[in-house]
Structure 1
Amino acid sequence: MTLQILLLLAGLALLIAGAEWLVSGASSLARKFKISDLTIGLTVVAFGTSAPELVVNLFASATDHQDIFFGNILGSNNFNLFIILGLAGVLLPLKVQVSTVWKEIPMSFAALVIFYIMVHIPSPNGGMMLGRIDGFILLGLFGLFQYYIYRQIKEYTPPEAEHKPTGPLFKMIAFIILGLAGLVLGGKLVL
Protein backbone atom coordinates (compact mmCIF):
# COMPACT_ATOMS: atom_id res chain seq x y z
CA MET A 1 0.00 0.00 0.00
CA THR A 2 2.80 2.41 0.90
CA LEU A 3 4.59 1.60 -2.35
CA GLN A 4 1.43 2.34 -4.33
CA ILE A 5 1.05 5.72 -2.64
CA LEU A 6 4.69 6.55 -3.31
CA LEU A 7 4.32 5.55 -6.97
CA LEU A 8 1.18 7.66 -7.26
CA LEU A 9 2.95 10.68 -5.75
CA ALA A 10 5.97 10.13 -8.00
CA GLY A 11 3.66 9.88 -11.00
CA LEU A 12 1.87 13.09 -10.09
CA ALA A 13 5.19 14.87 -9.59
CA LEU A 14 6.41 13.64 -12.98
CA LEU A 15 3.17 14.74 -14.66
CA ILE A 16 3.49 18.23 -13.19
CA ALA A 17 7.20 18.52 -13.95
CA GLY A 18 6.76 17.03 -17.41
CA ALA A 19 4.05 19.53 -18.30
CA GLU A 20 6.18 22.39 -16.98
CA TRP A 21 9.25 21.27 -18.94
CA LEU A 22 7.21 20.73 -22.09
CA VAL A 23 5.58 24.16 -21.89
CA SER A 24 8.86 25.85 -21.01
CA GLY A 25 10.80 24.24 -23.85
CA ALA A 26 8.07 24.63 -26.45
CA SER A 27 7.34 28.25 -25.45
CA SER A 28 11.02 29.15 -25.67
CA LEU A 29 11.28 27.45 -29.04
CA ALA A 30 8.21 29.33 -30.28
CA ARG A 31 9.67 32.65 -29.05
CA LYS A 32 12.92 31.86 -30.84
CA PHE A 33 10.88 31.80 -34.06
CA LYS A 34 9.21 35.09 -33.06
CA ILE A 35 5.79 33.58 -32.45
CA SER A 36 3.56 35.91 -30.41
CA ASP A 37 2.72 35.28 -26.77
CA LEU A 38 -0.97 35.10 -27.71
CA THR A 39 -0.26 32.27 -30.14
CA ILE A 40 1.92 30.52 -27.58
CA GLY A 41 -0.84 30.81 -24.99
CA LEU A 42 -3.56 29.55 -27.31
CA THR A 43 -1.53 26.59 -28.53
CA VAL A 44 1.60 25.58 -26.62
CA VAL A 45 0.43 26.47 -23.12
CA ALA A 46 -3.07 25.14 -23.77
CA PHE A 47 -1.68 21.82 -24.99
CA GLY A 48 1.01 21.66 -22.32
CA THR A 49 -1.38 22.16 -19.44
CA SER A 50 -3.71 19.52 -20.90
CA ALA A 51 -0.93 17.07 -21.71
CA PRO A 52 -0.99 15.33 -18.30
CA GLU A 53 -4.72 14.69 -18.70
CA LEU A 54 -4.19 13.44 -22.23
CA VAL A 55 -1.49 11.00 -21.15
CA VAL A 56 -3.45 9.71 -18.15
CA ASN A 57 -6.59 9.36 -20.28
CA LEU A 58 -4.74 7.46 -23.01
CA PHE A 59 -3.33 5.04 -20.46
CA ALA A 60 -6.71 4.77 -18.70
CA SER A 61 -8.43 4.00 -21.98
CA ALA A 62 -5.79 1.48 -23.03
CA THR A 63 -6.04 -0.34 -19.69
CA ASP A 64 -9.85 -0.40 -19.66
CA HIS A 65 -10.33 2.25 -16.96
CA GLN A 66 -13.10 4.24 -18.64
CA ASP A 67 -14.36 5.63 -15.33
CA ILE A 68 -11.00 7.29 -14.74
CA PHE A 69 -11.05 8.56 -18.32
CA PHE A 70 -14.44 10.27 -18.11
CA GLY A 71 -14.00 11.30 -14.48
CA ASN A 72 -10.74 13.03 -15.34
CA ILE A 73 -12.27 14.95 -18.23
CA LEU A 74 -15.36 16.06 -16.34
CA GLY A 75 -13.50 16.72 -13.10
CA SER A 76 -10.84 18.78 -14.83
CA ASN A 77 -13.37 20.89 -16.70
CA ASN A 78 -15.40 21.48 -13.55
CA PHE A 79 -12.27 22.34 -11.56
CA ASN A 80 -11.10 24.82 -14.20
CA LEU A 81 -14.51 26.39 -14.54
CA PHE A 82 -15.52 26.65 -10.91
CA ILE A 83 -12.32 26.69 -8.85
CA ILE A 84 -9.77 28.37 -11.13
CA LEU A 85 -12.16 30.98 -12.52
CA GLY A 86 -13.84 31.36 -9.13
CA LEU A 87 -10.58 32.00 -7.28
CA ALA A 88 -9.31 34.30 -10.02
CA GLY A 89 -12.56 36.28 -9.88
CA VAL A 90 -12.40 36.56 -6.09
CA LEU A 91 -8.75 37.61 -6.02
CA LEU A 92 -8.81 39.93 -9.00
CA PRO A 93 -11.93 40.61 -11.05
CA LEU A 94 -11.40 39.45 -14.61
CA LYS A 95 -12.11 41.42 -17.75
CA VAL A 96 -13.94 39.25 -20.25
CA GLN A 97 -13.64 40.10 -23.91
CA VAL A 98 -16.80 40.39 -25.96
CA SER A 99 -15.60 37.62 -28.30
CA THR A 100 -15.23 35.30 -25.31
CA VAL A 101 -18.83 35.90 -24.25
CA TRP A 102 -20.31 35.62 -27.73
CA LYS A 103 -17.98 33.09 -29.38
CA GLU A 104 -15.72 30.98 -27.15
CA ILE A 105 -18.20 30.32 -24.33
CA PRO A 106 -20.99 29.27 -26.73
CA MET A 107 -18.46 27.06 -28.57
CA SER A 108 -17.54 25.37 -25.29
CA PHE A 109 -21.19 24.94 -24.40
CA ALA A 110 -21.93 23.50 -27.86
CA ALA A 111 -19.06 21.02 -27.47
CA LEU A 112 -20.50 19.89 -24.14
CA VAL A 113 -23.97 19.46 -25.65
CA ILE A 114 -22.55 17.50 -28.61
CA PHE A 115 -20.59 15.27 -26.24
CA TYR A 116 -23.70 14.73 -24.11
CA ILE A 117 -25.75 13.74 -27.15
CA MET A 118 -23.01 11.40 -28.41
CA VAL A 119 -22.80 9.39 -25.20
CA HIS A 120 -26.58 9.17 -24.93
CA ILE A 121 -27.11 7.66 -28.36
CA PRO A 122 -27.42 3.91 -27.74
CA SER A 123 -24.73 1.78 -29.33
CA PRO A 124 -25.53 -1.38 -31.32
CA ASN A 125 -24.94 -3.49 -28.20
CA GLY A 126 -27.54 -1.46 -26.30
CA GLY A 127 -25.21 0.46 -24.00
CA MET A 128 -24.06 4.04 -24.04
CA MET A 129 -20.60 4.58 -25.42
CA LEU A 130 -18.36 6.97 -27.28
CA GLY A 131 -17.32 5.25 -30.50
CA ARG A 132 -14.77 5.83 -33.23
CA ILE A 133 -17.15 7.89 -35.35
CA ASP A 134 -17.85 10.08 -32.33
CA GLY A 135 -14.11 10.43 -31.80
CA PHE A 136 -13.59 11.51 -35.40
CA ILE A 137 -16.42 14.03 -35.08
CA LEU A 138 -14.88 15.46 -31.91
CA LEU A 139 -11.45 15.64 -33.55
CA GLY A 140 -13.01 17.38 -36.55
CA LEU A 141 -14.67 19.91 -34.26
CA PHE A 142 -11.33 20.45 -32.55
CA GLY A 143 -9.80 21.08 -35.98
CA LEU A 144 -12.48 23.68 -36.69
CA PHE A 145 -11.77 25.34 -33.35
CA GLN A 146 -8.05 25.41 -34.14
CA TYR A 147 -8.87 27.06 -37.46
CA TYR A 148 -10.92 29.65 -35.56
CA ILE A 149 -7.93 30.27 -33.28
CA TYR A 150 -5.65 30.54 -36.31
CA ARG A 151 -7.92 33.22 -37.75
CA GLN A 152 -7.91 35.07 -34.41
CA ILE A 153 -4.12 34.95 -34.32
CA LYS A 154 -3.81 36.27 -37.88
CA GLU A 155 -5.82 39.35 -36.89
CA TYR A 156 -3.64 39.96 -33.82
CA THR A 157 -0.65 42.28 -34.07
CA PRO A 158 1.77 41.73 -31.20
CA PRO A 159 3.52 44.62 -29.49
CA GLU A 160 7.18 45.03 -30.40
CA ALA A 161 8.45 44.36 -26.88
CA GLU A 162 6.66 41.02 -26.67
CA HIS A 163 9.57 38.83 -27.82
CA LYS A 164 11.81 37.93 -24.93
CA PRO A 165 15.29 36.49 -25.29
CA THR A 166 15.51 32.73 -25.48
CA GLY A 167 18.21 30.25 -24.55
CA PRO A 168 20.16 27.79 -26.66
CA LEU A 169 18.24 25.54 -29.03
CA PHE A 170 19.56 22.29 -27.51
CA LYS A 171 18.21 23.34 -24.10
CA MET A 172 14.74 23.98 -25.54
CA ILE A 173 14.70 20.62 -27.28
CA ALA A 174 15.99 18.90 -24.14
CA PHE A 175 13.16 20.44 -22.11
CA ILE A 176 10.60 19.28 -24.67
CA ILE A 177 11.99 15.72 -24.66
CA LEU A 178 12.26 15.61 -20.86
CA GLY A 179 8.74 16.99 -20.60
CA LEU A 180 7.31 14.33 -22.89
CA ALA A 181 9.24 11.59 -21.07
CA GLY A 182 8.03 12.89 -17.70
CA LEU A 183 4.46 12.90 -18.92
CA VAL A 184 4.62 9.35 -20.24
CA LEU A 185 6.36 7.94 -17.17
CA GLY A 186 4.13 9.92 -14.81
CA GLY A 187 1.01 8.75 -16.64
CA LYS A 188 2.09 5.12 -16.27
CA LEU A 189 2.83 5.53 -12.57
CA VAL A 190 -0.49 7.20 -11.81
CA LEU A 191 -2.47 4.27 -13.14
Structure 2
Amino acid sequence: MGALALTGAVPSQAAEPWGLEDLFARFARIPNSNARFTETREVGMLTAPLESSGTLTYRRPDFLEKRTLQPQPEGLRLEGDRLTLTQADGMSRILSVSAMPEIQTYVESIRATLRGDVPTIMRFYEVDLEGSLQDWRMRLTPRAEEARKTVQRIVIAGRDATIRRIEVLQADGDRSIMTIQPDPA
Protein backbone atom coordinates (compact mmCIF):
# COMPACT_ATOMS: atom_id res chain seq x y z
CA MET A 1 0.00 0.00 0.00
CA GLY A 2 1.43 3.28 -0.79
CA ALA A 3 0.29 5.17 2.14
CA LEU A 4 -1.81 7.91 3.29
CA ALA A 5 -1.15 11.05 4.97
CA LEU A 6 -3.09 13.90 5.87
CA THR A 7 -3.50 17.35 6.96
CA GLY A 8 -5.32 18.98 9.79
CA ALA A 9 -2.52 20.32 11.88
CA VAL A 10 -3.20 21.32 15.44
CA PRO A 11 -1.74 24.69 16.52
CA SER A 12 1.47 24.31 18.49
CA GLN A 13 3.35 26.24 21.11
CA ALA A 14 7.14 26.46 21.21
CA ALA A 15 7.27 25.39 24.87
CA GLU A 16 5.13 22.27 24.39
CA PRO A 17 6.56 18.86 25.23
CA TRP A 18 7.94 16.82 22.37
CA GLY A 19 8.03 13.07 21.89
CA LEU A 20 6.16 10.19 20.30
CA GLU A 21 3.25 10.39 22.74
CA ASP A 22 2.91 14.14 22.21
CA LEU A 23 3.01 13.85 18.41
CA PHE A 24 0.53 10.98 18.36
CA ALA A 25 -1.83 12.86 20.72
CA ARG A 26 -2.02 15.57 18.04
CA PHE A 27 -2.83 12.99 15.34
CA ALA A 28 -5.51 11.48 17.60
CA ARG A 29 -7.44 14.79 17.56
CA ILE A 30 -7.89 14.78 13.76
CA PRO A 31 -11.16 13.09 12.69
CA ASN A 32 -10.47 13.07 8.94
CA SER A 33 -8.23 14.54 6.30
CA ASN A 34 -7.56 14.69 2.58
CA ALA A 35 -4.35 15.17 0.64
CA ARG A 36 -2.75 14.89 -2.77
CA PHE A 37 0.26 12.66 -3.37
CA THR A 38 3.04 12.08 -5.81
CA GLU A 39 4.85 8.75 -5.57
CA THR A 40 8.10 7.61 -7.15
CA ARG A 41 9.01 3.92 -7.10
CA GLU A 42 12.50 2.70 -7.84
CA VAL A 43 12.37 -0.95 -8.88
CA GLY A 44 15.64 -2.79 -9.43
CA MET A 45 14.42 -4.54 -12.57
CA LEU A 46 13.48 -1.26 -14.29
CA THR A 47 15.79 1.35 -15.78
CA ALA A 48 13.54 4.31 -14.91
CA PRO A 49 11.45 5.08 -11.81
CA LEU A 50 7.67 4.63 -11.89
CA GLU A 51 5.72 7.77 -11.04
CA SER A 52 2.11 8.13 -9.99
CA SER A 53 -0.14 10.73 -8.39
CA GLY A 54 -3.58 10.99 -6.91
CA THR A 55 -5.50 11.60 -3.70
CA LEU A 56 -5.49 10.27 -0.16
CA THR A 57 -8.38 10.17 2.31
CA TYR A 58 -8.43 9.25 5.99
CA ARG A 59 -11.46 8.95 8.30
CA ARG A 60 -11.13 7.96 11.91
CA PRO A 61 -10.72 5.28 13.10
CA ASP A 62 -9.59 2.95 10.31
CA PHE A 63 -10.62 4.13 6.83
CA LEU A 64 -7.80 4.87 4.38
CA GLU A 65 -8.12 5.36 0.65
CA LYS A 66 -5.46 5.93 -1.98
CA ARG A 67 -6.85 6.86 -5.38
CA THR A 68 -4.22 6.88 -8.09
CA LEU A 69 -5.26 9.16 -10.96
CA GLN A 70 -2.07 9.18 -13.05
CA PRO A 71 -0.73 7.38 -15.02
CA GLN A 72 -3.92 5.30 -14.82
CA PRO A 73 -6.81 5.12 -12.36
CA GLU A 74 -6.36 2.58 -9.55
CA GLY A 75 -7.63 2.36 -6.03
CA LEU A 76 -6.65 1.01 -2.67
CA ARG A 77 -9.25 1.16 0.11
CA LEU A 78 -8.76 -0.01 3.66
CA GLU A 79 -11.77 -0.36 5.95
CA GLY A 80 -11.05 -2.18 9.18
CA ASP A 81 -9.50 -5.52 8.22
CA ARG A 82 -10.67 -5.39 4.59
CA LEU A 83 -8.30 -4.17 1.88
CA THR A 84 -9.86 -3.61 -1.57
CA LEU A 85 -7.55 -3.18 -4.55
CA THR A 86 -9.13 -1.85 -7.74
CA GLN A 87 -7.24 -1.99 -11.03
CA ALA A 88 -7.50 0.37 -14.00
CA ASP A 89 -9.87 -2.07 -15.77
CA GLY A 90 -12.28 -1.91 -12.81
CA MET A 91 -11.47 -5.40 -11.51
CA SER A 92 -11.31 -5.55 -7.72
CA ARG A 93 -9.67 -7.87 -5.27
CA ILE A 94 -10.52 -8.02 -1.56
CA LEU A 95 -7.97 -9.18 1.02
CA SER A 96 -7.93 -9.66 4.78
CA VAL A 97 -5.14 -7.50 6.23
CA SER A 98 -4.73 -9.64 9.35
CA ALA A 99 -4.26 -12.77 7.23
CA MET A 100 -1.17 -11.23 5.59
CA PRO A 101 1.35 -10.14 8.28
CA GLU A 102 3.66 -8.34 5.83
CA ILE A 103 0.77 -6.19 4.60
CA GLN A 104 -0.60 -5.66 8.10
CA THR A 105 2.77 -4.37 9.27
CA TYR A 106 2.89 -1.84 6.43
CA VAL A 107 -0.77 -0.80 6.89
CA GLU A 108 -0.26 -0.18 10.60
CA SER A 109 2.69 2.14 9.97
CA ILE A 110 0.24 4.60 8.44
CA ARG A 111 -3.01 3.76 10.20
CA ALA A 112 -1.55 3.72 13.72
CA THR A 113 0.21 7.03 13.06
CA LEU A 114 -2.94 8.73 11.78
CA ARG A 115 -4.97 7.35 14.69
CA GLY A 116 -2.32 8.42 17.18
CA ASP A 117 -2.12 4.83 18.42
CA VAL A 118 1.21 4.48 20.26
CA PRO A 119 0.66 0.88 21.53
CA THR A 120 -0.04 -0.42 18.00
CA ILE A 121 2.92 1.34 16.38
CA MET A 122 5.17 0.00 19.15
CA ARG A 123 3.78 -3.53 18.70
CA PHE A 124 4.74 -3.60 15.01
CA TYR A 125 7.86 -1.40 14.95
CA GLU A 126 10.96 -0.24 16.68
CA VAL A 127 10.46 3.53 16.55
CA ASP A 128 13.10 6.23 16.33
CA LEU A 129 11.66 9.78 16.35
CA GLU A 130 13.91 12.77 15.77
CA GLY A 131 13.64 16.46 15.02
CA SER A 132 11.10 18.89 16.40
CA LEU A 133 7.34 19.22 16.23
CA GLN A 134 7.76 21.53 13.23
CA ASP A 135 10.10 19.17 11.35
CA TRP A 136 10.03 15.55 12.55
CA ARG A 137 11.14 12.24 11.14
CA MET A 138 10.05 8.84 12.42
CA ARG A 139 12.05 5.79 11.40
CA LEU A 140 10.14 2.51 11.71
CA THR A 141 11.91 -0.86 11.67
CA PRO A 142 9.58 -3.89 11.62
CA ARG A 143 9.80 -6.06 14.73
CA ALA A 144 8.57 -9.26 13.08
CA GLU A 145 11.13 -11.27 11.14
CA GLU A 146 8.49 -12.17 8.54
CA ALA A 147 7.76 -8.48 7.90
CA ARG A 148 11.50 -7.67 7.61
CA LYS A 149 11.66 -10.10 4.67
CA THR A 150 9.51 -7.58 2.79
CA VAL A 151 10.10 -4.16 4.39
CA GLN A 152 13.48 -3.10 5.73
CA ARG A 153 12.27 0.26 7.08
CA ILE A 154 9.69 2.99 6.69
CA VAL A 155 10.50 6.63 7.30
CA ILE A 156 7.58 9.00 7.86
CA ALA A 157 8.31 12.72 8.03
CA GLY A 158 6.10 15.68 8.72
CA ARG A 159 5.27 18.91 10.41
CA ASP A 160 3.01 19.01 13.46
CA ALA A 161 0.17 16.48 12.89
CA THR A 162 0.64 16.42 9.13
CA ILE A 163 2.51 13.71 7.25
CA ARG A 164 4.51 15.20 4.38
CA ARG A 165 6.59 12.26 3.16
CA ILE A 166 6.64 8.47 3.41
CA GLU A 167 9.66 6.49 2.27
CA VAL A 168 9.57 2.70 2.15
CA LEU A 169 12.76 0.72 1.67
CA GLN A 170 12.01 -2.88 0.81
CA ALA A 171 14.26 -5.77 1.76
CA ASP A 172 15.08 -6.40 -1.92
CA GLY A 173 16.39 -2.85 -2.33
CA ASP A 174 13.34 -1.45 -4.14
CA ARG A 175 12.17 1.88 -2.74
CA SER A 176 9.17 4.20 -2.89
CA ILE A 177 8.90 7.82 -1.86
CA MET A 178 5.50 9.44 -1.46
CA THR A 179 5.34 13.22 -1.14
CA ILE A 180 2.09 14.49 0.35
CA GLN A 181 0.50 17.91 0.10
CA PRO A 182 -2.63 18.99 1.97
CA ASP A 183 -5.73 19.23 -0.17
CA PRO A 184 -6.68 22.92 -0.40
CA ALA A 185 -10.39 22.03 -0.51
With structure 2 as the length reference, what TM-score do the two structures score? 0.24
Higher strand fraction: Structure 1 or Structure 2?
A: 2
Larger radius of gyration: 1
Structure with the larger RCO, 1 or 2 (CA within 8 Å, 6+ apart):
1
